[in-house]
Amino acid sequence: MSKLDGLIAWYENLSPETVVEAGRFYASDASFKDPFNEVRGIGAIEHIFRHMFVQVEEPRFVVTGRFPGKDDDCGAMLLWEFHFRTRGLGAQALCVKGASHLRFDAAGRVAEHRDYWDAAGELYARLPLIGAPMRLLLRMGAAK
């Protein structure tokens, strides 16, 4: 199993109990950036993953595509789906599609992790209270 295979298996089986295994896959000073967070360090990255389990119910990642660099050691792009249920009144099952750009250090651990996904269209536009205004803003900004 390649390092990338192991990392993907960890993402797809992530649970509150396995978050602590991040150090097997991330460098101690790794950086992580997504539409909500920008952090550095394994502790901060673990915090983001733990927070995910507090914010939503039944979160899980499904990696739908992988594009390794010339070899697994230089970097990779992963396409993924994030499935979860919102909490509270009007809870609903959602799926957000995105991509992660990963760069690895000499030891094969993730040194840089950058997530790309459309927070406005994939998430905000689907939420009960802010969905309608967000969809209106998206329509107003669309090319005619």
Give the CATH number for residue 106. 3.10.450.50
Residue 123 lies in a domain: no
- Positions of the chain with pLDDT lower than 50, given as ranges: none
Overall pTM surpassing 0.75 (yes/no): yes
Q: What is the 3-state secondary structure (H, E, C) of the chain?
A: CCHHHHHHHHHHCCCCCCHHHHHHHEEEEEEEECCCCEEECHHHHHHHHHHHHHHCEEEEEEEEEEEECCCCCCCEEEEEEEEEECCCCCCCEEEEEEEEEEEECCCCCEEEEEEEECHHHHCHHHCCCCHHHHHHHHHHHCCC
> Which pLDDT belongs to residue 74?
77
| Boundaries of domain holding 78 | 3-118
Residue 137 lies in a domain: no
Count of domains forming the chain: 1
Residue 126 lies in a domain: no
Residue 34 lies in a domain: yes
> Which pLDDT belongs to residue 118?
76
Residue 125 lies in a domain: no
> Which pLDDT belongs to residue 86?
82
Residue 143 lies in a domain: no
Residue 129 lies in a domain: no
